[in-house]
Amino acid sequence: MKLDTIIENQKKGLSLLRTLASNLHVASDEIMLEDIFEEKMTTVQQMNELSEKLKEENYKKKLVNFLSALGGYRVGDTVRIIMKNLGTNALWSRYSMKGRRGKLPFQSLQLFRVIIKACLRSHKGTSVSLVEREVAETLKHAPNKPGGSNFTARTSAGFSDEGSNDGFDCRPGKGMKGEMLTSVRGL
């Protein structure tokens, strides 16, 4: 039973490696993300500049080849990895799939079609509608992620790192005003 699971996982891993290897049939020189664009996009203006560059067929092919090689095990993983490499959550917070609620439409951008092509190349047999749904989900949740427009840092169990003025020291072995607690043994 366990051996069958291990063999199945190895087959899936080998399949993924073959898919990635087949996607790297670019020219003899390796393409790095920095060769395609310098840094993650943070503004709508940078997105518009990228859209202009994507009108060049050669540039679009390079970007599709690179993004498809990033890969992920599932389509949703691939979409999130691609979008994380391309831009910040602050940028993705400005977009929704159809441009509702005062946001810009993502589906009208050239980059959207590039992401679809990259995902279809990475995941043979997947549908365009699945990729579209995953992009929409990623855009939907971007405002609540670190760097997004609605993100608020949460502390564990409601305690802040700065401490409070209530006189208690929550470190192990400490009590009121930080004095050491002694244990009573033998009672």
Question: DSSP for the chain?
Answer: -HHHHHHHHHHHHHHHHHHHHHHT-S-SSPP-HHHH-SS-B-SHHHHHHHHHHTTSHHHHHHHHHHHHHH--SSHHHHHHHHHHHHB-HHHHTTEESS--TTPEESTTSHHHHHHHHHHHHHSTT--HHHHHHHHHHHHHHGGGSTTSTT-----GGG--TT--SSSB--STTB-BTTPBP------
User: What percentage of residues in the chain have a pLDDT greater than 90?
Assistant: 43
Q: Domain spans of the chain?
A: 2-144
Q: How many CA atoms lie within 13 A of 181 on its CB side?
A: 12
Distance CA 9, CA 13 (A): 6
- Both tokens of residue 29? 């020189």
Q: In sequence order, what are the beta bridge partners of 105?
A: 96
Q: Among 13-22, 34-43, 105-114, which is the least confidently predicted range?
A: 13-22
On average, the pLDDT of the chain sits at 79
Residues 128-165: tens digit of each pLDDT: 999 999 999 999 999 888 888 888 877 665 544 444 44
- Please name the residue that has the structure tokens 């009672």: 187
Residues 93-127: tens digit of each pLDDT: 999 999 998 999 999 999 999 999 999 998 889 99
pTM of the model: 0.67
Residue 28: per-residue pLDDT: 37
